[in-house]
Structure 1
């Protein structure tokens, strides 16, 4: 009797472990909702990943990222059934990115509309449900982020009279670092400056520590 009870308990535990909802993670049939890059072209060389949660603000990545097709199906992806880790009504969203292996480092990113639906339930009698399609998914485009800053041409004018000072042209909304070195190898930051007037002036009030001192202005953001 103990053996039968133990087997029954194991069977129930195994059934509970398998009872997780599934989603058919694709934007091919039946939704046919293409994804586009920041230039409006069908997305390729990019990744998509499903996010899911019981509430809209608790969604987390589920399943591995899947690559977009690079052939005649550009703008589409498919990975089959994805286990979302829960049953019942939930929230779902597709994240897509390009330019890096992760969403956070990518140079183009985008998110779909948020869907509310029930994943497929494998516990139903008469056979499990098929993975649920992302019905209601809408087409979307990526946006550019994390782009390198375009360099700004600087015009520097200085004087050898102590304290040493120089001026340089600035671009609106850009931060600059004034750096100094005595060997052109190691540079230290003297000051960060953010000007909007088109010109900035820096004065080095330090006492002379070396026979030669080099300066440079570096654009940081």
Structure 2
């Protein structure tokens, strides 16, 4: 699990062991598949109701195959975490993966996310400060660095949001993106968040260019959440290769 030791701090490093557990692997796969299936948008139910015009559901039809695909991705990631994870932190880690994947699906298909899922991820991310203090055997204090990173992440995206309204007279991103970036920054650190946003912008630019070439669409909306998570993956791979 070198990938985690490179990108994450003490709480993540302490969450993984070298002992393979087939039972926890199967449990993680089942929980991941079921969790993503239940939290991702259901094509048979009404979509998100948003008052803000920037958060209207777009016209892409949500298909059953896509839901199966995302559930399979959730099962795969959670199986890896379950097979090598510390059982005491396993629910916490699985919750992060499931909520993150679900928010990705919502953002890709509807450019909007359920408020309760975003808030749940924020609370889980903020709880990292308590877990980190416990791991460091400092049970009487809450590690303030997590809260510090959370506020920095929220402040950075809020600044982009405000500048877009002031100078471009339009919203460059949604309010839900601010909450997600705060959660992401609390989990991975502010520096990693900035790097992930950079690589996410690179990915978004590449996708936008190819979309314009092959689909002839000139006005392409970019969902922020999946590209930030994708940027994290690219940054990790870049660090491993170098």
Same fold (TM over 0.5): no
**Normalised TM-score (structure 2):** 0.21
Q: Which has the higher contact order (CA 8 A, sep 6+)?
A: 2
**Normalised TM-score (structure 1):** 0.22
Q: Whose Rg is larger?
A: 1
